[in-house]
Amino acid sequence: MSSLRDQLLARIAADEGALVALLGDFVRAPSPNPPGDTRSATSVLTAWIEARGAPFRLLGPDPAMPNILASFEGARPGRHLVLNGHIDTFPTASPDRWTQDPLGGAIVDGQLFGTGASDMKQGTASLVALFCWLYAMRDQLAGRLTLTAVSDEETFGPNGARFLVEHHADEVLGDCLLNAEPGAPTTVRFAEKSPLWVAIEVQTMGCHGAYTHKSASATKIAAALIEDLAELEAIEVALPPAVAGTIDAGASEIDRVHLPGAARTMGRITLNIGGWHGGTLVNMLPGHCRIEADIRLPWGTTPDTMLARIGAIVARHQGASMQVMSRQEPRFSDPAHPMVGHIQRNAQAIAGWQVLPIPSLAGTDARLWRERGVPAFTYGTTATNVAMADEHTDLDEWLKVVRIHALSALHYLTQDSAS
């Protein structure tokens, strides 16, 4: 085992310069979504894979949004590890406030700058590289390794990971998923709160704004509804002990990474009124109003339970009706899964980081695996200026995370023979 580890670390060390160049090239190939044309960015990755002789395919319903699917078998039977990252990025945020060219990939004081440099071209590049290193070592591995680099993550669209898990489940689900979204390298995320998106429409007769006796007001009803919906946030949810334990143990780290209050937010139902649109003119009494509620459910409740509560609130308000835009069951993977142990040990050994398993507030494509029963874990670098001006990645930290990714995958694919 130790010889495999050393062999892998030697490959990484030899490739370090090329790897940094790969990340620069990847950042310089724009892939903002929307619109989501990722072809040039994809070709940067496929050129790397081709040069190392590994097999791959490009798949997807939209030719402008290719997904890379690559896979190999080890020398003997074992478990199937799937790697997942995305190629697309947010559109460049606040272009006028950057101090570096957002498409330049410049390295300044050890930081590589550019749109997507943090979210998540660094993570996807890391997975592509580790796939190729382990491909070269496949004769010594058990099981199977699959790489998915997808093109439609930023808008949770249908053409990326969702396409693969729906149409190529046999190839991409596997036994365990490792996702490399940025966050904090001192945490591994084993769960995500589940978004429940509900649109509420209010219809009334409407009339001239001076004639308030003639019609109920859609905007006022919506205001009262919003106030009533606040009761959802007061609901106490009994978290499953495994999740509650990690939140307790990781509270200070959660608050450090996601700012004070995050640990409390983690275990609670939260309500965001993401959109509120009603009326057309100041002096007309609105007959229509729409609000969009983004409710985040912790583990221990279900969308059905919540929708019953919301339905009861909506029913109290004249002319109000609701429709579900999006729903997911809150799920979590086992925080004591072997992959968590691999990441913890390797992070300790490579960087001296003590890694805690924590749930996550926001969503990643990992949920698509988790909701299909596959344990899924997210581990990556510190998210730095994601969706902001001067997005960047610290190369020193990244190269440590690259090693932790690679060694953890190696351990997962050699575990049976490692003892």
Partner 1 sequence: MTDLAATLLAEIDAAREELVGFFQEFTRIATPNPPGETREAAAFLGAFLARHGIDHQVIAPVPEWPNIVADRSFERSGRHLVLNGHIDVFPAGDPSRWRHGSPWSGSIEDGRLYGRGTADMKCGTAASFIAFALLSRHANRLSGRLTLTAVSDEETGGRWGTGYLFQHHPELVCGDCCLNGEPSSAYTVRYGEKAPLWLVFTVKARGAHGAYVHLSDSATKIAADLIERLEAVTTLKPDMPAAVARNLADPVVRHALETGLGTGAADTVAQVTLNIGMVEGGLKTNMIPSECRVEADIRLPVGVPKARVWAMVREILADFPNVSVEEQSLPEETGANWCDPDGEMLRIIQDTAERIAGIRPAPVITLAATDARFWRNANIPAYIYGCAFDLVGTYDESVAIEEFLNVVRVHTLSAAAYLGRV
Residue 279 to residue 76: CA distance in whole angstroms: 65
Nearer to partner 1, 104 or 209 (CB): 209
Residues present in the chain in total: 419
Residue nearer to partner 1 on the CB measure, 57 or 277: 277
User: Which part of the chain contacts partner 1 (CB under 8 A), choosing from 222-230, 371-379, 390-398, 408-416?
Assistant: 222-230
Q: According to the binding rule CB under 8 A, does residue 274 interact with partner 1? A: yes
Report how far residue 408's alpha carbon sits from residue 410's, in angstroms, rounded to the nearest whole number: 5
Residue type, 121: K
213 binds partner 1 (CB under 8 A): yes
Report the DSSP pairing between strands 142-150 and 76-86. parallel
Q: Can residue 93 be called a binding residue for partner 1 (CB under 8 A)?
A: no
Beta-strand pair 288-297/284-285? unpaired
For partner 1, the binding residues in 292-311 under the rule CB under 8 A are 292-294, 296
CB 364 to partner 1: min, Å: 12
- What span, in angstroms and rounded, lies between the C-alpha atoms of 215 and 209? 10
Neighbour-count burial of 294, counting CB atoms closer than 10 A to its CB (0-12 exposed, 13-18 middle, 19+ buried): middle
Among 141, 271, 310, 320, binds partner 1 (CB under 8 A): 271
Q: Which of 279, 300, 338, 341 binds partner 1 (CB under 8 A)?
A: 279
Contact between 41 and partner 1 by CB under 8 A: the answer reads no
Closer to partner 1 at the Cβ: 106 or 224?
Answer: 224
| Alpha helix stretches (DSSP H) within 352-394 | 366-370
Torsion sign over Cα 381, 382, 383, 384: negative
Contact residue for partner 1 among 28, 73, 186, 197 (CB under 8 A): 197
Contact region with partner 1 (CB under 8 A), list: 51-59, 97-105, 291-299, 332-340: 291-299
* 258 in contact with partner 1 (CB under 8 A): yes
In the bound state with partner 1, the residue whose beta carbon lies nearer, of 325 and 336, is: 325
Q: Which residues, other chains included, contact 186 with Cβ-Cβ below 8 Å and sequence gap of 6+?
A: 253, 257, 347, 353, 354, 355, 356
Contact footprint for partner 1 (CB under 8 A): 193, 195, 197, 208-214, 217, 219-220, 222-224, 226-227, 230, 258-262, 264-265, 270-286, 289, 291-294, 296, 325, 361-363
